Chain A
Amino acid sequence: MVSSFYRLVRKIREINHRYSEPHIEMSRGVRISLLALRIYLVVLVGLIVYKFVMIVN
Chain B
Amino acid sequence: MNLFSKLYYKFRKFWKAIQLYLVIAGPGLVVMVADNDAGGITTYAATGAKYGYNLIWFLLLLIPVAYYVQEMTVRLGAVTKRGHAEAIFDGFGAFWGWFSLIDLMILDWLTLVTEFIGMTSALQIFGIPPWVTVAGVVALMGMIVLNGRYWTWEKIALLFCALNLIYIPGAFMVHPDVSAILKDGLVPNFPGGFNGELFFFLMANIGTTIAPWMLFFQQSAVVDKGMLEKDIPWGKFDTLLGATLTVVVAIFIVVVTGTVLKGVDIDSASQAAEHLLKTDHYVGTFMAIGLFDAGLLGAICISLASSWAFGEIFGWAHSLNQKIKEARWFYASYFFTLVTAGLVVLIPGAPLVLITLFVQVVAVTLLPAALVFLILLLNDKKHMGEYCNTLTENLIGGFIVVTIVVLSTLYGISVLFPQMFQ
Contact = CB atoms under 8 A, between A and B. Distances in A.
Interface of A: 11, 15-16, 19-25, 29-30, 33-34, 37, 40-41, 44-45, 47-48, 51
A51 B368 contact: no
A19 B380 CA distance: 17
The 10 closest A-B pairs by CB, nearest first: A24-B91, A22-B93, A19-B94, A19-B89, A16-B94, A51-B416, A22-B92, A24-B380, A23-B90, A33-B372
A24 B412 contact: no
11 contacts: A15-B94, A15-B313, A23-B91, A24-B91, A25-B380, A25-B381, A34-B92, A37-B368, A41-B365, A48-B365, A48-B416
Interface size of B as a range: 20 to 34
Name A's interface SS.
Answer: helix
Interface string B385-422: 00000000000000000000100010011001100000
Nearest to B103: A41
Nearest to A40: B368
Interface of B: 89-94, 96-97, 313-315, 361, 364-365, 368-369, 372, 376-377, 379-383, 405, 409, 412-413, 416-417
A33 B376 contact: yes
B416 A22 contact: no
Given A19-B90, A24-B91, A24-B377, A37 B369 contact: yes
Nearest to A52: B416
A25 B93 contact: no
A24 B93 CA distance: 9
A19 B381 CA distance: 20
Contact of A44 (B93, B96, B364, B376): B364
Name B's interface SS.
Answer: helix
Given A15-B97, A19-B94, A34-B96, 18 more contacts: A11-B315, A19-B90, A19-B93, A19-B97, A22-B92, A22-B93, A23-B90, A24-B380, A24-B383, A25-B382, A33-B376, A37-B368, A40-B405, A44-B364, A44-B412, A47-B416, A48-B416, A51-B417
A38 B416 CA distance: 20
B372 A37 contact: yes
A22 B91 contact: yes
Given A20-B94, A51-B416, A41 B89 contact: no
Nearest to B313: A15
Nearest to B417: A51
Of B94, B409, B412, B413, most buried by chain A (CB within 10 Å of CB) is B94
Contacts of A16: 94
Of A21, A29, A37, most buried by chain B (CB within 10 Å of CB) is A37
A34 to B, nearest CB: 7
Nearest to B381: A25
Contacts of B361: 48
Contacts of A22: 91-93
Contacts of B314: 11, 15
A11 to B, nearest CB: 6
Nearest to A8: B314
A20 B89 CA distance: 9
A19 B409 CA distance: 29
Nearest to A44: B365
